Amino acid sequence: MKVLFITSEAYPFAKIGGLGDVSYALPKALRKLGIDVRVILPKYNNIDDGYKNKMTLISEFNVSVGWREQYCGLKYLEYDGVPFYFIDNEYYFKRNNQYGFYDEGERFSYYSRAVLDAIKYIEDFTPDILHCNDWHTGMIPVILNHDYRNNNQYKNIKTVYTIHNLKYQGVYGKDILGDLLGLSEDYFSEDKLKYYDGVSFMKGGINYSDIVSTVSNNYAEEVKMPFYGEGLHGLLGSKGDKFIGILNGIDYELYNPDTDKNIVKNYSVNKLENKVKNKITLQKELKLEVNPSKPMIGIVSRLVKQKGIELICQVIEDILRLDVQIVVLGTGEQTYEDSLKYYSSVYPSQIHAHIGFNEAFARKIYAASDMFLMPSLFEPCGLGQLIALRYGSVPIVRETGGLKDTVKPYNKYTGEGIGFTFSDYDSNDMLNAIKRAREVFDTKDIWNKIIEKGMIQDNSWIHSAKDYLNVYQFLL
């Protein structure tokens, strides 16, 4: 079985969010199940030169973008046993960042056609399945259906389309995209692509793929409701058993506190006493009060409303009155960045906010923190809580999306549960969940049992990979 995994980002080459982790770890897990999975993504300018210098040029060809012909170089590099292909075009991808440009619709229209054309030039590999991810690849099933089905190499290819975050749908003007994509007018007159006054890449992916998935069972049900569905709830609800939820995992080799070179002292569920050394070191490094008995709350997140940062800012002084420390790593909306920096300056011994992102520092927070806060407004899956569990940091989460699927709340009467949860999107409800965690923290034997149960949970990719294998086999 041959699968081409199509994405806009993949660790370690280009990673902005959870999609980058998934695009590395899921193909790796699928290959262990015997599937010939290969990954393709843009060759961005900010990919490390160490990787770019090792890439091999496979082929060069032109790609139609409207009335223009644009150059495409197809490059190859194997990493960690996974074959990666890169679409090379300096006009579209030699920029300082991966996303956020005025011509995003054009960039990923080009990318969509370039990926499909690249299949002709990959030796001994015609995919049985195209596995597309998020809005950037949503037009690939559409163009495949419109322009490539008459070609024998493409006529039997099936498509899987995975939604990682429904909020970002790739909506652009119909007139512009009609020219860029080369689709006939009847495609744009159909409701399958329309999104109010524009055209939605994501809607195209949902309508023209054989199977649509999203990244947790609970989120798959939530997005059928107006509040979570971002205008596509009716469409997703109409898909029946062609729309499924498959929970994400994390790479247990990549995220392993017993071998992680980013942290000061390695530890495991059997050497849990070593974890506190990471906290003491981080307290010293950040000039927080050095006190191993004071609980540290970690937050590694985009600082945006979706992640519930507004709830934290609303009651942050109330949280600090619980005699805890807070360490934040992330970047996002200016309002939240400024607010967190302000409280860091007012309470320097209790809170540290690092605006930006650094993978090594993120690992230090996971290893040092006692609790990990994710009060999301919505969360398709969430990887932070899974990493936190792996590193023995007890999650405090809102019961939404994948957070609800993965964090069973602690029950003081039965002893069950691996975290603390709240249901309403409300700062006081969140504060009460933190208070419950704070109270249990002081009872070390109970707290350590919660940590241990979380650390032995199997949130690796093996289960999800088997689920995707079943989907692929069903399609074929």
Does residue 31 or residue 198 have the better pLDDT? Answer: 31
Residue 56 predicted with pLDDT over 70: yes
Q: What is the pLDDT of residue 174?
A: 76
Q: Among 397, 404, 373, 467, which residue's Cα sits nearest to residue 222? A: 404
Lowest mean pLDDT among 166-175, 342-351, 368-377: 166-175
Is the pLDDT at 4 greater than 70? The verdict is yes
What CA–CA distances, in Å, run from 274 to 251, 278, 298, 359? 22, 8, 18, 21
Residues 361-377 have a mean pLDDT of 98
Looking at residues 117-137, what average pLDDT do you find?
A: 97
HEC string of 307-339 equals HCHHHHHHCHHHHHCCCCEEEEEECECHHHHHH
Percentage of the chain lying above the pLDDT 90 cut: 91
* pTM of the shown model: 0.92
Backbone angles phi, psi at 279, to 5 degrees: -70, -45
How confident is the model at residue 184, as a pLDDT? Answer: 74
pLDDT-derived band at 17 (thresholds 50, 70, 90) equals confident
Please state whether beta strands 158-163 and 211-214 pair in parallel, antiparallel, or not at all (unpaired). parallel
> What pLDDT is attached to residue 325?
98
Both tokens assigned to 287: 């000039």
Averaged over 421-448, what is the pLDDT? 97
Is the pLDDT confidence value at 46 over 90?
yes
Q: Which amino acid is at 283?
A: Q
- What phi and psi values does residue 373 have, to the nearest 5 degrees? -100, 125
Strands 36-42 and 82-88: parallel
Q: Return the higher-pLDDT residue of 56 and 180.
A: 56
For residues 248 and 464, the answer to whether their CB atoms sit within 8 Å is yes
- Judged against a pLDDT cut of 90, whether residue 229 lies above it is answered with yes
Q: How large is the average pLDDT for residues 231-246?
A: 96
* 307 backbone dihedrals φ, ψ, rounded to 5°: -85, 5
pLDDT confidence tier of residue 176, bands split at 50, 70 and 90 = low
List the one residue out of 419, 373, 420, 364 whose CA is nearest residue 391. Answer: 364
Reduced to 3 states, what is the DSSP secondary structure of residue 387?
helix
Average pLDDT of the chain?
A: 95
The rounded distance, in Å, linking the Cα atoms of 470 and 362 is: 34
15 is in an annotated binding site: yes
Kindly list the structural domains of the chain, giving each domain's residue range(s) and its CATH number in brackets, ordered by start. Answer: 2-249+461-475 (3.40.50.2000), 272-455 (3.40.50.2000)
* For residues 452-459, average pLDDT: 97
Mean pLDDT of 350-375: 96
Least confident range from 54-58, 265-269, 357-361, 430-434: namely 357-361
- For the stretch 64-116, pLDDT in tens is 988 889 999 999 999 999 999 999 999 999 999 999 999 999 999 999 999 99
